[in-house]
Structure 1
Amino acid sequence: MDVATVAEKVAEAAVRERETAEQLRGNGSFYEFEMDRERLAAIWLATHAEWRRVRDLMTAVGWSVYEPERDAQGSVWAREREERFTAALAAPAAFGERLGERQGEEADELRAEVWLSAASSRLIQVVADRAGLRPSQVLTQLAEQIVVAEDGTVSVPSFTPSL
């Protein structure tokens, strides 16, 4: 990841941090997320701080490209995050296996948390508002329209989200 890309990440995190902080204070509509406002605001605050740390490290050390394996602090944090993530997935995965055995075809359903860029999030919100839907409903309808070609390419024909 080069300096320009890191700068873009810092800028995007700053926008998301500001947006979630404003929404937390009640100054804007909040997107349909499966988490509470305080947690989302804290996540973007931490993400913004981490991208600034990476940018400052690159500047201080003179790197033109960020290499995570050379970032001692970032590597420790990444390893700790991975350990927490693995542990957090263990119990639900076991539950999911048991549930899948009992529910047959319902196990084919997918529940996902999707993190979109600020621009994509705003676009989904605009479409949802126009259609009178929640953003999660727009994404569900979008996913239902997916067409996979023989060569593996994925596309979505034009459609209008509706109730």
Structure 2
Amino acid sequence: MARASVRRQGEALSREQVTEKVAEAGRRERETGRQLHVAVDRGPYDGDPRDLGEQWAARHAEWRRVAALMDAEDWPVYEPERDVQGSMWVQGREDRRQEALARRAAWQKDQWEAREELKTQVWLNADTSRRLRTIANAPASVPSRSWPTSPTTSASTTQAP
């Protein structure tokens, strides 16, 4: 999050402007660190001050990285497209985002199919129900089996033509 924010805000900034951003991020990091040790009455919608402190620490580190990169490469302005490491981070984040979206779409499809599944309930008499349970509980490894048939069916199959 901090990296993306710095890339957006840093585009076309000069070295002096980036140095100012480093100083501001450092100041805000220190301020949020001090607020952790002071009892402050927070409202019900205020966030956790530790989260804000971590965000400013991450931004401070990223602004320092950008400043060091500009000094090492002798760039007059920051251009995110030329920042190889930052671009790799952006690509990795985009890949993870696409994977998460694909997982979410697959989960939604599974949920939809489960809702669309036809559910039927059949009421059978006791004799038919007992026979079906016997068939369902029979071992599946039996290759052929003579199933109980009604007297009319067995008479027609035993007669030779």
| TM-score between the two structures when normalised by the length of structure 2 | 0.46
- Rg: which structure is higher? 2
- Give the number of the structure with larger relative contact order, counting CA–CA contacts within 8 Å between residues 6 or more apart: 2
| TM-score between the two structures when normalised by the length of structure 1 | 0.46
